[in-house]
């Protein structure tokens, strides 16, 4: 699975989790019904938002759900799944999105795709997905040419981009494509008045998708020499975060202007889980409304804030003085001397001490594994699906990125999530 909106099932709660799974399974089954079993590999978290938005705007109809048979990803349980034009539009968009990712891997020469025969085969698969997406899109009145045009223009824009180029010029094709897909959900649901606000929400969602992908891949791209929009344009992480926060705010405003029959799930995904995705990409932690910069990110976002839950108490019993500072009972500093310990030698766990290694206290850190190639990732993805890890595991390793992912049915527990945004007493979005 790929996508930037990967909601925590504990935060969704029982009802919304059931709805979210219905759309995820509906997208997967729509791909199988129209394009065969292999097409199910392009099921992704972001594509199902198209299905969610379509249903959120439509008046409730009995035909919007059907009961699907047992599936290994649901622990061999039956389930009520979404069906209809929204799921098929999501399938068409997912196919073209997956095609673009394959082409991107080919251009970067990732893994086995660096070999010409494999790259030729991958391009053929991508071309087939383009054609399949166009057929399904035509069936629901959506012209996927706008998506294909965005994919084609992206390569030319990236070739011309350099230091000083606006990052928004690089993200424009993705913005245009997602704006068209979001806007078409309004037409499918019979709400033409929603076309404009949802097009704006889609444009900003596309910007975020491109930004977060660039942020997450920045270090890996630098190590491999692959093209990255942040590096190529000289955009700092601070500026990228500002653009991401602006996009989040714009999406909330756009959702407020749209009319929904039941927009609760769409609101949670696009207003709250999307915020969590941004925090995850930038290495910060928040409850959807605050930004606490981690020590790892302080180089990009300035010095860490003073105080905090574990910081020195302002106006505490020692004021601004160190209890071991000048004038104290241990005149001159640390009672064990500078850099030593009461038993001689370096401080255990410190630089050069037992268990040292750069001062982290855990010894030398092993190198991070690189990304898998396309075909190797496909093989791992099939294994994850067959073993139900995508659905049932607490965490698993992404088949291509090798990043830690949460199982989509994982109950992360109270310790891992903040419940203050649970649809949502602290939200001013108006939904």
pLDDT digits (tens, 9 = 90+) for 189-213: 999 999 999 999 999 999 999 999 9
Q: Would you call 262 exposed, middle or buried from its count of C-beta atoms within 10 A (0-12, 13-18, 19+)?
A: middle
Mean pLDDT of 155-177: 93
At 269 the pLDDT is 93
Which structure tokens are listed for 238?
């601070």
Tell me which DSSP letter residue 228 carries. Answer: -
Distance CA 51, CA 53 (A): 6
At 407 the pLDDT is 64
pLDDT digits (tens, 9 = 90+) for 405-421: 766 555 443 334 444 34
- C-alpha to C-alpha distances, 310 to 36, 233, 305, nearest whole angstrom: 55, 38, 11
At 160 the pLDDT is 92
Residue whose token pair is 């991958």? 122
**Is the separation of the CB atoms in 422 and 13 below 8 Å?**
yes
b/e string for 113-141 if b means 16 or more Cβ within 10 A? Answer: beeeebbebbeebbeebbebbbebbeebe
CA-based end-to-end distance of the chain: 29
Distance CA 164, CA 166 (A): 6
pLDDT digits (tens, 9 = 90+) for 334-359: 444 444 444 444 444 444 444 444 44
Look at 6-10, 73-77, 229-233, 391-395 and tell me which has the smallest mean pLDDT: 391-395
At 15 the pLDDT is 83
pLDDT digits (tens, 9 = 90+) for 104-156: 788 777 778 878 888 888 889 888 898 899 999 999 999 999 998 998 898 89
Distance CA 179, CA 254 (A): 12
Query: What is the overall mean pLDDT for the chain?
Result: 76
**Is the separation of the CB atoms in 122 and 102 below 8 Å?**
yes
Look at 59-68, 149-158, 370-379, 393-402 and tell me which has the smallest mean pLDDT: 59-68
Handedness of CA 252, 254, 260, 266 (dihedral sign): negative
Mean pLDDT of 358-383: 64
Look at 13-17, 31-35, 158-162, 191-195 and tell me which has the smallest mean pLDDT: 13-17
Mean pLDDT of 204-231: 92
Mean pLDDT of 301-320: 41
Q: Would you call 287 exposed, middle or buried from its count of C-beta atoms within 10 A (0-12, 13-18, 19+)?
A: middle
Helix (H, G, I), strand (E, B) or coil at 77: strand
Tell me which DSSP letter residue 346 carries. Answer: B
Mean pLDDT of 269-291: 77
pTM of the model: 0.68
Show the 3-state SS of 365-415. Answer: CCCCCCCCCHHHHHHHHHHHHHCCHHHHCCEEECCCCCCEEECCCCCCCHH
Distance CA 6, CA 395 (A): 12
Q: Provide the CB-side half-sphere exposure for 123 (13 A, CA).
A: 10
Q: What is the CA radius of gyration of the chain?
A: 24
């Amino acid at each position: 699975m790929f996508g930037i909106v990967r909601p925590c099932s504990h935060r969704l709660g029982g009802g919304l989790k059931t709805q979210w799974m219905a759309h995820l399974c509906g997208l997967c089954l729509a791909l199988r019904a129209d394009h065969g079993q292999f097409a199910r590999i392009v099921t992704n978290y972001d594509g199902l938002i198209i299905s969610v938005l379509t249903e959120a705007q439509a008046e409730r109809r009995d035909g919007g759900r059907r009961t699907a048979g047992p599936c290994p990803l649901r622990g061999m349980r039956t389930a009520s799944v979404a069906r209809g034009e929204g799921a098929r539009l999501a399938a068409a968009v997912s196919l073209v999105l997956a095609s673009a990712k394959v082409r991107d891997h080919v251009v970067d020469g990732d893994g086995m795709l660096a070999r010409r025969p494999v790259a030729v085969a991958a391009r053929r698969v991508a071309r087939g997905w383009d054609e399949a997406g166009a057929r399904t899109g035509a069936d629901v009145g959506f012209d996927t040419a706008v998506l294909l045009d965005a994919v084609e223009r992206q390569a030319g824009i990236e070739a011309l981009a350099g230091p000083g180029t606006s990052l928004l010029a690089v993200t424009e094709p993705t913005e245009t494509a997602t704006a068209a897909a979001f806007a078409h959900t309004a037409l499918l649901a019979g709400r033409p008045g929603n076309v404009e606000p949802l097009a704006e929400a889609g444009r900003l969602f596309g910007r975020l998708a491109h930004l977060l992908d660039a942020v997450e891949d920045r270090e890996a791209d630098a190590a491999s020499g692959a093209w990255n929009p942040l590096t190529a344009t000289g955009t700092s992480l601070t500026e990228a975060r500002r653009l991401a926060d602006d996009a989040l705010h714009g999406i909330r405003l756009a959702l407020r202007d749209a009319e929904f029959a039941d927009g609760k799930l769409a609101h949670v995904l696009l207003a709250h889980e999307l915020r969590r995705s941004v925090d995850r990409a930038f290495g910060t932690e928040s409850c959807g409304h605050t930004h606490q910069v981690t020590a790892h990110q302080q180089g990009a976002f300035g010095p860490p804030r003073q105080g905090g839950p574990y910081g020195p108490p302002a106006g505490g019993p020692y004021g601004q003085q160190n209890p071991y500072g000048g004038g104290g009972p241990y005149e001159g500093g640390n009672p064990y001397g500078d850099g030593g310990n009461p038993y001689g030698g370096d401080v255990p766990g410190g630089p050069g001490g037992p268990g040292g290694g750069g001062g982290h206290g855990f010894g030398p850190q092993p190198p991070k594994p690189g990304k898998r190639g396309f075909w190797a990732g496909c093989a791992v993805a099939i294994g994850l699906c067959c073993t139900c890890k995508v659905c049932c595991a607490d965490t698993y390793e992404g088949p291509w990125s090798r990043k830690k992912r949460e199982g989509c049915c994982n109950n992360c527990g109270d310790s891992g999530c903040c419940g203050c945004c649970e649809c949502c007493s602290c939200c001013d979005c108006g939904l």
